[in-house]
């Protein structure tokens, strides 16, 4: 028992300090994304608290931070606007439609976990992953540039710009230099505290968390505990029209949330050399969004920026996420005055360091060492992430990669031809037989000029789909219509099952007797193992 506790608390100090850092970084992000979605800042902060706490406890990736995100907020803008237009002025009907959508989004995500769809993240190729992190780094960088503007949307200039740049540079300098002196202190938290002290005691007139909220139309960070939203049931009618309205939004939000969460999970797996549970993460994200919707939050998913801050600050266990979420609630309830004094420049500096750490700089080095198709995928995913959103970018990248893979495999179909002593012509097929290779496969045969007896040997090939079955069926018909005898041999058991199910004719042309030792070994692993044990080296 003592050993169990010791192992669980070995990293407690790093987790707690990292959680404090993350909590500070979560505040302006949650507020900013709430403004983007067109809702009150507390709606974003409540989402960050509830999503962060639930996924930290029940999620599939210890150390990963979740909360309100920009990728979801940009989709919510039109949802809230359309919802508001359905109600009377000042009714804020869009907010309640948002809560209902978040609940439906969570249900969809939980279903993805129940049906174990999280495993499909392994189908995402590495170039797509690199494009994702590069595009996301650019998005994070561009989002921080807005902090260099005043309340009117004008860029800082003169002394104001100089102070802002100097404080950002100081924050980045501390985060860069402190680990070289000691790794025992969390560089992000120390940088925020030092820059905050300079601003407070130096009485510098700079943008702070408090001024940022007020400039955006908010009344401040102060709030109470999240309340159960009973008005959802009275304001949002439960009928087909509502489902038609919120359904597409919920589906898009669920897809974006899961893709961003699972790809962030994969990235942290690589950084920490551990393995998370994708299906458990789907369930936790879905459950968190359902609860958040009922308690007045805007929903959310994994946050790559805050997750990287956590990992780089030493956070490794569930404790770091729990500390960050609980502290965020403490800030809202008791410490709003202190947090509102934190300068935006310090948080921008932290995020800029996250951008530098997130961007896959190695992608420049390997551009001339990887296939051109992978280069195109990498650049396309990066660009689409910036221009549209993560879901479109990743889906497009996977589609491009799949098409390239299909094209390359379609060119690998081969047919070695030989004539036996009895006059039988044998076609030995090599390569996968699927929709992409059908045309090349058909071109290998000369039905008109072939002898009366033909064999097609599939020992080095595999039938993959319905297109392949149809191609073989048509080929058999052509030979039979020409009055020639055709046989198929060395089909694997699963291929034979497919063909037998498609047409009884195949039982007449498939040879069941096996006469090739390679085929015996492939079909009988025990014989193969025994043969190896008896072989004299």
Show the low-confidence residues of the chain (pLDDT under 70). Answer: 1-10, 216-220, 513-537
Q: For the chain, how big is the Rg over CA atoms in Å?
A: 30
Partner residues linked to 415 by β-bridges: 429
pLDDT at 520: 45
pTM of the complete model beyond 0.85: no
Q: Please tell me the number of Cα atoms within 13 Å of 397 on its side-chain side.
A: 32
CB neighbours of residue 428 within 10 Å: 17
Q: What is the mean pLDDT of the chain?
A: 86
In sequence order, which ranges of 273-343 are alpha helices (DSSP H)?
A: 278-294, 304-312, 318-333, 336-339
Closest Cα to residue 496, out of 469, 460, 526, 456? 469
Domains of the chain as residue ranges with CATH: 2-397 (no CATH), 414-534 (3.30.750.24)
Q: Are residues 106 and 293 in contact, defined by beta-carbon separation less than 8 angstroms?
A: yes
Whole-number Cα distances in Å, 358 to 187, 307, 354, 518: 17, 11, 6, 49
In sequence order, which ranges of 237-303 are alpha helices (DSSP H)?
A: 240-272, 278-294
pLDDT tens per residue, range 336-350: 888 888 898 988 888
pLDDT at 352: 87
Total count of residues recorded for the chain: 537
pLDDT tens per residue, range 300-310: 999 888 898 89
Instruction: Report how far residue 197's alpha carbon sits from residue 191's, in angstroms, rounded to the nearest whole number.
Output: 10
Instruction: Report how far residue 489's alpha carbon sits from residue 316's, in angstroms, rounded to the nearest whole number.
Output: 55
| CA angle, residues 148, 150, 152, in degrees to nearest 5 | 135
Question: For 314, phi and psi rounded to 5 degrees?
Answer: 105, 0
Q: Is the alpha carbon torsion for 15, 16, 19, 20 positive or negative?
A: negative
Closest Cα to residue 221, out of 500, 26, 20, 357? 26
Whole-number Cα distances in Å, 350 to 24, 28, 64, 189, 313: 10, 12, 17, 9, 11
**C-alpha dihedral over 232, 234, 240, 242, to 10 degrees?**
-50
**C-alpha dihedral over 324, 330, 332, 335, to 10 degrees?**
-110
DSSP states of 126-146 as a string?
Answer: HHHHHHHHHHHHHHHHHHHHG
């Amino acid at each position: 028992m003592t050993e169990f506790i010791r192992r669980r608390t070995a990293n407690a100090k790093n987790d707690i300090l990292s959680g404090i850092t993350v909590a500070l970084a979560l505040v302006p992000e949650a507020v900013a994304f709430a403004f983007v979605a067109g809702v009150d800042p507390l709606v974003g902060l409540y989402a960050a608290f509830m999503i962060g706490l639930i996924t930290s406890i029940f999620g599939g990736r210890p150390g990963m931070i979740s909360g309100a995100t920009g990728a979801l907020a940009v989709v919510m803008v039109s949802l809230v606007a359309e919802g508001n237009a359905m109600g009377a002025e000042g009714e804020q009907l869009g907010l309640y439609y948002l809560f209902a959508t978040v609940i439906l989004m969570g249900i969809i995500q939980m279903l993805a976990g129940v049906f174990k769809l999280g495993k499909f993240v392994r189908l995402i190729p590495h170039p797509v992953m690199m494009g994702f992190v590069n595009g996301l780094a650019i998005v994070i960088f561009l989002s921080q540039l807005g902090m260099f503007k005043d309340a009117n949307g004008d860029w800082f200039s003169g002394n104001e710009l100089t102070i802002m740049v100097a404080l950002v540079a100081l924050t980045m300098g501390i985060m860069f230099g402190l680990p070289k002196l000691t790794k025992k202190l969390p560089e992000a938290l120390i940088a925020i505290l030092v820059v905050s002290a300079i601003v407070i005691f130096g009485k510098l007139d700079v943008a702070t968390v408090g001024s940022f909220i007020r400039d955006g139309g908010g009344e401040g960070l102060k709030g109470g505990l999240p309340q159960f939203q009973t008005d959802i049931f009275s304001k949002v009618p439960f009928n087909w029209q509502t489902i038609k309205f919120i359904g597409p939004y919920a589906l898009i939000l669920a897809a974006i949330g899961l893709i961003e969460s699972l790809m962030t999970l994969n990235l942290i797996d690589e950084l920490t050399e551990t393995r998370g549970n994708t299906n458990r993460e789907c369930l936790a994200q879905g459950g968190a969004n359902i609860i958040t919707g009922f308690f007045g939050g805007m929903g959310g998913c994994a946050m790559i920026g805050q997750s990287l801050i956590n990992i780089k600050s030493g956070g490794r266990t569930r404790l770091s996420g729990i500390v960050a979420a609980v502290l965020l609630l403490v800030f809202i309830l008791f410490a709003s005055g202190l947090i509102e004094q934190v300068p935006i420049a310090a948080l921008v500096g932290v995020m800029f360091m996250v951008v530098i750490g997130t961007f896959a700089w190695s992608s420049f080095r390997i551009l001339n060492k990887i296939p051109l198709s992978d280069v195109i995928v990498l650049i396309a995913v990066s660009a689409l992430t910036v221009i549209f959103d993560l879901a479109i970018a990743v889906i497009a990248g996977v589609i491009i990669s799949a098409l390239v893979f299909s094209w390359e495999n379609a060119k690998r179909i081969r047919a070695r031809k030989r004539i036996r002593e009895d006059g039988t012509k044998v076609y030995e097929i090599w390569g996968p037989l699927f929709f992409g290779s059908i045309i090349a496969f058909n071109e290998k045969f000369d039905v008109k000029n072939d002898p009366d007896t033909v064999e097609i040997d599939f020992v080095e090939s595999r039938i993959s789909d319905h297109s392949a079955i149809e191609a073989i069926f048509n080929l058999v018909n052509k030979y039979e219509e020409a009055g020639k005898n055709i046989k198929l041999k060395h089909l694997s058991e699963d291929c034979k099952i497919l063909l037998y199910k498609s047409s009884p004719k195949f039982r007449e042309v498939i040879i069941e007797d096996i006469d090739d030792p390679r085929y015996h070994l492939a079909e009988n692993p025990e014989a193969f193992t025994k043969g190896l044990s008896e072989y004299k080296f």
